[in-house]
Amino acid sequence: MINKLMKQIEKLDAPVVVGLDPQLSFIPDFLMKKAFSEKGETLEGAAEALWQFNKVLIDNIWDLIPAVKPQVAMYERFGVPGMVAYQKTIDYCHEKGLVVIGDVKRGDIGSTSAAYADGHLGKVTVGSRVFAPFDEDFATVNPYLGSDGIDPFIKVCQEEKKGIFVLVKTSNPSSGEFQDRVIDGRPLYEWVGEKVAQWGSTCMGDSYSYVGAVVGATYPKMGEVLRQIMPHTLILVPGYGAQGGKASDLAPYFNKDGLGAIVNSSRGIIAAWKKEPYLGRFGEEGFGDAARQATVDMIEDLKTVPKG
Amino acid sequence: MINKLMKQIEKLDAPVVVGLDPQLSFIPDFLMKKAFSEKGETLEGAAEALWQFNKVLIDNIWDLIPAVKPQVAMYERFGVPGMVAYQKTIDYCHEKGLVVIGDVKRGDIGSTSAAYADGHLGKVTVGSRVFAPFDEDFATVNPYLGSDGIDPFIKVCQEEKKGIFVLVKTSNPSSGEFQDRVIDGRPLYEWVGEKVAQWGSTCMGDSYSYVGAVVGATYPKMGEVLRQIMPHTLILVPGYGAQGGKASDLAPYFNKDGLGAIVNSSRGIIAAWKKEPYLGRFGEEGFGDAARQATVDMIEDLKTVPKG
């Protein structure tokens, strides 16, 4: 799957992942009304709105980008019906040939991480039958519990040729509270980065590992150091756009081969119709067109990043 | 909810939480067959088996214990149908008056943590109606992203009078890889513990905070230090039983009031029928009786812990 992802990035010349992180406030009224008329003002109705919103977005952008990253929290917010919308979104993205990165940030002790790995990336045996439950291609994973929590994911990645992105340095303002604390002369995120490189060396694709890392666009100097610590690691870069990261900040995240990073934008794309410079240009009904234009513009913007 | 939990612990003289972490291998054949005959060898069939298993367990132990802790990974493993079983389990435990600690270990950047907090502890507005989706009473939370990731949970806890347990020192063997690393002379878990005490001071119940901590039974010396750093924090203690923690290790986790800790056992209770000293005593059909006996024995065992 890492090979497929790298090939799609190269083919499209677009190191871009769109975060499918819908909030009800992003969804145009006409679509909310349609969902409520079908399913009522219920959790099912809200979930239907999320799914219908996503479907239009995907229909408008699938050919431009290698991957999507649905943020499961936005679906979990609506309970079990929300998880149905999450599943439909994954399945539909697969139909369109997109790589799906489940932004689940799971992580627990060994046997529990194994259950998460089974459910999100792997398979489960039920009687005489085998199922792939959520079936994302990649999942994001939290490293706080150490190797015990990561190893079960790596095992499933090796079996299924899928991948993970381990949180190393997150994009949020308070990420430094623990991640930047200095241990033996180096910040915690560097130690985590070293572990990611080690974990990754046990499951290499052609040029990059199945074990990637999350490093926020909002910390480019740290990105530069981490790029060196993890030379064969694909870096998933959140924080571009709405969170303040700019194309001019992104050069350090790439390798000399022009690859090595995939940049996420969520509301900058999916809520483009409500924001400048797209506001009013496409109308409510054209929210998918606005998302397409924002995706095109992001891809162009990233072409200005000096790589290598 | 922290007040309810503390009262139930005192009333029952049982600082015990049972982890509802079912695996198919824990479930007797007759129950698997029943579930498969109703729902087929499908994810729905597996989920039905989890739920039927839990229901019998709950019916057998609800009057002995203050709280249960379903581990969501064991349900997520079976996709959306698994989440249906998770929801049924929560709802049924509430019917029985049990406090429900959702062991979800969520944590993300601000707006995403807010979505998790809404879905698990809070409410969502859909059109003109309001819903409480998963509606656990407490949730476990991962601190790696710092205050941004915790604050949205605290906000919901204040509104809903619910609570969280923040991972401080986990029970697994590799928890030390990052958690024990020394920063300015003190291990990371102590710094996290200090933050937990700070966060907790903003939302106090009568004697303990809505913000609790997870500290594994397998590290009693660290538990002793953390008890002092977080005097008003209820400590959720995993790792007793199957993971190796013993009653004799638990004294440091309690305060002089005899309270301050709640000890979890999962497979030691729910799979008791398959394990010594219960193996063969109750038979397959008596798995609920075995769980009850194991719960009684655990409560008695914990009475041997010198408190205060």
- Other CB atoms within a 10 A radius of the CB of residue A33 amount to 12
Q: How far is A257 from chain B (nearest CA, A)?
A: 31
The residue among B25, B76, B150 with the most chain A CBs within 10 A of its CB, best to mutate, is B76
| Chain B hits for A144, Cβ within 8 Å | 142-144, 167, 170, 178-179
B96: pLDDT strictly greater than 80: yes
Which of A36, A116, A126 is facing B41, going by the closest CB pair? A126
- Domains in chain B, ordered, with CATH? 2-301 (3.20.20.70)
| Chain B hits for A24, Cβ within 8 Å | 126
pLDDT of residue A308: 63
User: In terms of CA atoms, which chain B residue is nearest residue A118?
Assistant: B77
Q: What percent of chain A has pLDDT over 70?
A: 100
For residue B143, cis peptide bond before it (omega within 30 degrees of 0): no
Digit-coded pLDDT (tens) for B189-241: 999 999 999 999 999 999 999 999 999 999 999 999 999 999 999 999 999 98
Average pLDDT along chain B:
96
pLDDT of residue A201: 96
Six-digit token string for A135: 């079936």
Residue B61: enclosing H or E segment and its boundaries?
helix B43-61
User: What pLDDT band is residue B244 in, cutting at 50, 70 and 90?
Assistant: confident
B308: pLDDT strictly greater than 70: no
| Chain A hits for B144, Cβ within 8 Å | 142-144, 167, 170, 178-179
Can you point out the beta strands (E) in chain B?
A: 16-20, 67-70, 99-106, 124-126, 129-131, 138-141, 163-169, 182-183, 186-187, 211-215, 235-237, 261-265
Which of B77, B108, B133 is facing A115, going by the closest CB pair? B77
Report the candidate in A224, A222, A174, A168 with the shortest Cα–Cα distance to residue A195: A168
| Chain B hits for A111, Cβ within 8 Å | 23
Q: How far is A285 from chain B (nearest CA, A)?
A: 20
> Where do the H-state alpha helices sit in A175-286?
176-179, 188-201, 220-229, 267-270
- Other CB atoms within a 10 A radius of the CB of residue A256 amount to 9
Radius of gyration of chain A (CA): 19
Amino acid at A232: H
Q: What are phi and psi of A186, to 5 degrees?
A: -135, 145
A131: pLDDT strictly greater than 80: yes
Can you point out the beta strands (E) in chain A?
A: 16-18, 67-68, 99-106, 124-126, 129-131, 138-141, 163-169, 182-183, 186-187, 211-215, 235-237, 261-265
Catalytic residues of A: 105
Digit-coded pLDDT (tens) for B152-184: 999 999 999 999 999 999 999 999 999 999 999
- CB contact under 8 Å between B174 and A148, yes or no, is yes
Q: How far is A119 from chain B (nearest CA, A)?
A: 4
Six-digit token string for A273: 């119709």
| Chain A hits for B119, Cβ within 8 Å | 73, 76-79, 82
Which of B32, B79, B128 is facing A87, going by the closest CB pair? B79
Digit-coded pLDDT (tens) for A102-124: 999 999 999 999 999 999 999 99
**Spatial distance between the Cα atoms of B150 and A150, rounded to a whole number of angstroms:** 23
- CB contact under 8 Å between A127 and B32, yes or no, is yes
Q: What is the 3-state secondary structure (H, E, C) of B248-304?
A: HHCHHHCCCCCCCEEEEECHHHHCHHHCCCCCCCCCHHHHHHHHHHHHHHHHHHHHC
pLDDT of residue A307: 74
Q: What is the ipTM of this complex?
A: 0.97
Q: Is B161 a catalytic residue?
A: no
User: In terms of CA atoms, which chain B residue is nearest residue A112?
Assistant: B73
Query: Model's pTM, two decimal places?
Result: 0.97
Measured between its terminal Cα atoms, the distance across chain A in Å is: 24
Digit-coded pLDDT (tens) for A253-308: 999 989 999 999 999 999 999 999 999 999 999 999 999 999 999 999 999 998 76
Q: How far is A11 from chain B (nearest CA, A)?
A: 32
For the residues B114-134, what does the mean pLDDT come to? Answer: 98
Q: How far is B5 from chain A (nearest CA, A)?
A: 24
- CB contact under 8 Å between A126 and B24, yes or no, is yes
Digit-coded pLDDT (tens) for B246-298: 899 999 999 999 999 999 999 999 999 999 999 999 999 999 999 999 999 99
- CB contact under 8 Å between A112 and B79, yes or no, is no
For the residues B74-85, what does the mean pLDDT come to? Answer: 98
